[in-house]
Amino acid sequence: MSADDRALSGRQPKAVTSALRVLEEVARAGSGVTAKGIAARLSMPSATTYRLLNILVGEGYVVRLPDLSGFALGQKIGILVDAAVVPTVCAAAREVLAELRLSVRFGVHLFFYTNVAVRTADADPEYPPPEDESFLNQHLYACAVGKLLLAEKSELESVFPRWEPRALTARTIVARSELLANLDLVRSQGFATQLAELRDASACIAVPIRSDTGALIASIALSGHVDHHHLMLRHVPSLQEQAGRLGRFIA
Last residue of a domain, one of 56, 82, 108: 82
Burial of 51 (0-12, 13-18, 19+ CB in 10 A): middle
Residues 125 and 76 in one domain: no
Q: How far apart are CA 166 and CA 186, in angstroms?
A: 21
Tell me the H-state helices in the chain: 3-7, 12-29, 35-42, 46-59, 75-84, 91-103, 133-138, 144-151, 176-189, 229-233, 236-250
In a domain, 7, yes or no: no
Residues 89 and 175 in one domain: yes
Residues 61 and 116 in one domain: no
Residues 141 and 236 in one domain: yes
pLDDT at 4 (0 to 100) = 46
In a domain, 212, yes or no: yes
* Mean pLDDT computed over 181-206: 96
In a domain, 2, yes or no: no
Residues 110 and 150 in one domain: yes
Q: Which domain range does residue 37 map to? A: 13-82
Which run of H or of E encompasses 192? strand 192-195
Residues 184 and 224 in one domain: yes
Residues 240 and 148 in one domain: yes
Residues 102 and 133 in one domain: yes
Q: Which positions ≥6 away from 129 have C-beta within 8 Å? A: 107, 109, 120, 123, 136, 221, 223
State pLDDT tens for residues 210-235: 998 999 999 999 999 999 999 999 99
Residues 156 and 37 in one domain: no
Residues 234 and 176 in one domain: yes
In a domain, 161, yes or no: yes
Q: How far apart are CA 20 and CA 77, in angstroms?
A: 12
In a domain, 221, yes or no: yes
DSSP string for 221-239 = EEEEEGGGHHHHHTTHHHH
pLDDT at 3 (0 to 100) = 47
With bands split at pLDDT 50, 70 and 90, how would you rate the model's confidence at 164? Answer: confident
C-beta separation of 100 from 124 below 8 A: no
Residues 225 and 133 in one domain: yes
Tell me how many degrees the CA angle 75-87-204 measures, rounded to the nearest 5.
95
C-beta separation of 222 from 246 below 8 A: no
Last residue of a domain, one of 67, 82, 97: 82
With bands split at pLDDT 50, 70 and 90, how would you rate the model's confidence at 30? Answer: confident
Q: How far apart are CA 11 and CA 103, in angstroms?
A: 60
In a domain, 1, yes or no: no
Which of 96-100, 153-157, 187-191, 195-199 has the lowest average pLDDT? 153-157
CATH number, position 44: 1.10.10.10
CATH number, position 169: 3.30.450.40
Residues 119 and 199 in one domain: yes
C-beta separation of 35 from 68 below 8 A: no
In a domain, 8, yes or no: no
Q: How far apart are CA 63 and CA 57, in angstroms?
A: 5
Total domains in the fold of the chain: 2
pLDDT at 10 (0 to 100) = 52
